[in-house]
Amino acid sequence: MVLAGLGGGLLLAGLVAVATGLLPAADAAALGERIAPVLGFVVAITVVAAVAAEAGLFDRLASGAARLARGRGAALWALVVVVAVAATVFLSLDTTAVLLTPVVVTLARRVGLSPVPFAMTTVWLANTGSLLLPVSNLTNLLAESDPAFGSAYVTRSWLPALVAVLVPVAILAVVSRRALAHRYEPPPPEPVADRVLLAASAVTVALLVPALAIGEPVLHVPVWVPASAAALVLVVAAAVRRPGMLSVRLLPIPLVLFVCGLFLAVTALGRVGLTDVLAAAAGTGDAPLDLLRLAGVGTVTANLADNLPAYLALEPVSGSEHRLLALLVAVNAGPLILPWASLATLLWHARLTALDVRISWWRFAGLGLIAAPLTVALATLAVSLPF
């Protein structure tokens, strides 16, 4: 309800800006065209995750992972790290936040471990692991199309991407070492209530994963298309097998309201001088200190106003390959402090709420204040290295 209220207020403020001419209607329409595919993907992937969870797919995956780790908590966590990074790199951070979060929470609960370290690993790596490929994050796709970036994205991004993964993993390993230093008895598989719906969910998700991985970069099919197709298939399957599970609560309406309102409000603020302020703060130049300055501004802006509006606001003041990459480090790896800093974090929290897992935002922000500056600073310095 809080998110819906904030979103409604921001949306109203944005509409007032359009109505008064502060934000021209043409600019608002162009903004809508840019964010509509993102929101379409978010809605579709949320429905897929909800139906698959109800079908028991994540319970099955969790049982398999628990057996693979052979009763060692640290090994189980390491497995989650590998899967989270791979899912983020090849599928996108939002997919990781929605599809992997229920798996790791269910996994931890099944073996008697605290779900908090596993949930924190998922959300941190969903953000910091999203630098390597264009498909990993929408900001990367926007940067790749910028003439200042050139054509070889991966050859420029691999080193800061590696640093942005290793730093938060090291922090999490230290912070969670006691919680993970336990052995457990691998649990037996849970009984399946509806094998047909479980099979439909498993096949749909299994086909969706490669479709998301290759659709955008290889076939130039927007990610919302396969996600929407998968959501439609699972909604039909649920309507036939278990119609009672279908309700409007499957749709992330508060989240959509919040994102629409936030984008409109930030774009309107750009019209009244925000862009000029950010340009003055970000400075110029490609020296390491110049890149750190830009990354610092990007990190603060992303945490205050969400990473995608932050990227769009700062993109005009980047101007070179190194500066664009430093900006990407900031808006991808920096949103670890405030809950609205990235859409992936909001999606992650929505999944945790649905799973009845409580993580204090104060604790989240406190750990983020340690991880975000370290990760962004070291990954930004890696941008300037001659590799």
Ranges of residues in the chain whose predicted pLDDT is under 70: 1-4, 144-152, 189, 215-218, 386-387
At 333 the pLDDT is 94
Domain count, the chain: 1
Assigned domain for 169 exists: yes
Q: Find the radius of gyration of the CA atoms of the chain.
A: 21
Q: Which long-range contacts (CB under 8 A, 24 or more apart) does 187-196 make?
A: 187/63, 187/66, 187/110, 187/111, 188/63, 189/59, 189/60, 189/63, 190/56, 190/59, 190/60, 190/63, 192/56, 192/60, 193/56, 194/55, 194/56, 194/241, 194/242, 196/237, 196/241
Say if 194 falls within a structural domain.
yes
Name the pTM for this structure.
0.79
Per-residue pLDDT reduced to its tens digit, 311-361: 878 888 887 888 999 999 999 999 999 988 888 898 898 888 888 888 888
Specify if 1 maps to a domain. no
Coil, strand, or helix at residue 121? helix
Cα angle for residues 367, 373, 377 (degrees, 5° grid) = 150
pLDDT tens sequence across 164-197? 999 999 999 999 888 888 888 877 767 777 889 9
Domain membership of residue 370 as a residue range: 33-383
Residue 328 lies in a domain: yes
Indicate whether 95 belongs to any domain: yes
Q: Let me know if residue 84 belongs to a domain.
A: yes
User: What mean pLDDT value characterizes the chain?
Assistant: 85
**9 in a domain, yes or no?**
no
Within a domain: residue 73? yes
